[in-house]
Amino acid sequence: MKSTYDKRHTQARLSVGFILANQFTLNAFSNFIDVLRLSADDIDGSQPILCHWKVISTSMDLITSSAGIPVKPDETLGDPARFDYIAVVGGLLGKKNNLDNRYVDFLHQAAKAGVPLIGVCTGGFILHRAGLMSGRKCCVGWLHRDDFLEEFDDLEIITDQIFIVDGDRLTCSGGVSAAHLAAYLVDKHVGVNEARKSLHIMIIDEVKSGSKPQPGIPLTLETSDDTVKHALLLMQQNMESRVTISNIAKRLNISRRKLERKFQQSLNMTPAQAEKTIRIETAKHLMLTTHNSISEIAIQTGFCDASHFIRVFRTKNGLTPDQYRNASV
């Protein structure tokens, strides 16, 4: 089927072709689309003037999202060079999330033509399975960190940022981060005012760069210091392996001494004290939301054994873990 769109004959400054995996994440897709839509013209008429987008597929059959809502493609795959970017929107993990070989061939054709590829939500998984992320950094939502590590061991994953731009590969963790990645592209190709306008209409407070930290499990530790936020997230994501403070500082390209000063200034505690607080709070979260045993929770939150966990928990809270769990029922 011949495309109904040729970017050379329009005013569009940014064009994106979307490939939707079966059971794709509707929220991430709609956030990305809405930024393009709201920044597409000057009078909020949702006309694709400055931005253009199409859902492309191997056929015109409906594609069902993870929410059960179907989306109809606009056109078949065709020539990838008619777009500035090709975005793959992933969703629920599993075999049904994979793309068949026709999509894989199309994506390789796009890469060969120099068209940048975007992985939205678990779209980064799909691009890597297709052999298109070799040597690249990939942004993965912290919720899917273990899934990614279980399947892949040859890729640098980033789980403490909302999106990553690594040359002509762009990946984001999903959800609202898809809106911020779309705003980054609008800023780059259309203008910063259009990017800000779209986010403001969506009631998203600010334009965020890819380096902004992802949200994790809610904690009582609150800070406006992005470096400290990144450090807290890394602690939270590595509780079982107990990453050292020195390694966290190295990951954040900061000296350990400076990181310690930032913790004192923003949280009035040392990084070690903050890490212990995170482990205790996460243990509380697991006790209230899972049926895991105290021994299992101790291991999951980085304690040596159940006895050590019970001792630290009681000192911190005045109750044993069992007493805390029973009191919360």
Give the pLDDT of residue 20. Answer: 95
Topology (CATH level 3) of domain 7-201: Rossmann fold (3.40.50)
CA distances from 197 to 14, 174, 202, 253, 268 (A): 16, 21, 9, 33, 37
Give the pLDDT of residue 9. Answer: 39
Give the pLDDT of residue 219. Answer: 62
Tell me which architecture the domain covering 216-329 has in CATH. Answer: Orthogonal Bundle (1.10)
Give the pLDDT of residue 215. Answer: 53
Give the pLDDT of residue 71. Answer: 95
What pTM was computed for the model?
Answer: 0.64
Give the pLDDT of residue 161. Answer: 79
How far apart, in whole angstroms, are the C-alpha atoms of residue 154 and residue 148? Answer: 10
Neighbours of 78 (CB within 10 A): 17
**Per-domain residue ranges of the chain:** 7-201, 216-329
Q: Which two tokens mark 229?
A: 């936020």
Return the exposure string of 293-304: e unless at least 16 CB atoms fall within 10 Å of the residue's CB, then b: ebeebbbbbbbe
* Low-confidence residues of the chain: pLDDT under 70: 1-11, 41-47, 93-98, 141-160, 205-219, 329
Question: Three-state SS across the chain?
Answer: CCCCCCHHHCCCCEEEEEEECCCECHHHHHHHHHHHHHCCCCCCCCCCCCEEEEEEECCCCCEEECCCCEECCCEECCCHHHCCEEEEECECCCHHHCCCHHHHHHHHHHHHCCCCEEEECCHHHHHHHCCCCCCCEEECCHHHHHHHHHHCCCCEEECCCCEEEECCEEEECCCHHHHHHHHHHHHHHCCHHHHHHHHHHCCCCCCCCCCCCCCCCCCCCCCCCHHHHHHHHHHHHCCCCCCCHHHHHHHCCCCHHHHHHHHHHHHCCCHHHHHHHHHHHHHHHHHHHCCCCHHHHHHHCCCCCHHHHHHHHHHHHCCCHHHHHHHCC
Give the pLDDT of residue 213. Answer: 46
Domains 7-201 and 216-329 share a fold: no
Give the pLDDT of residue 153. Answer: 64
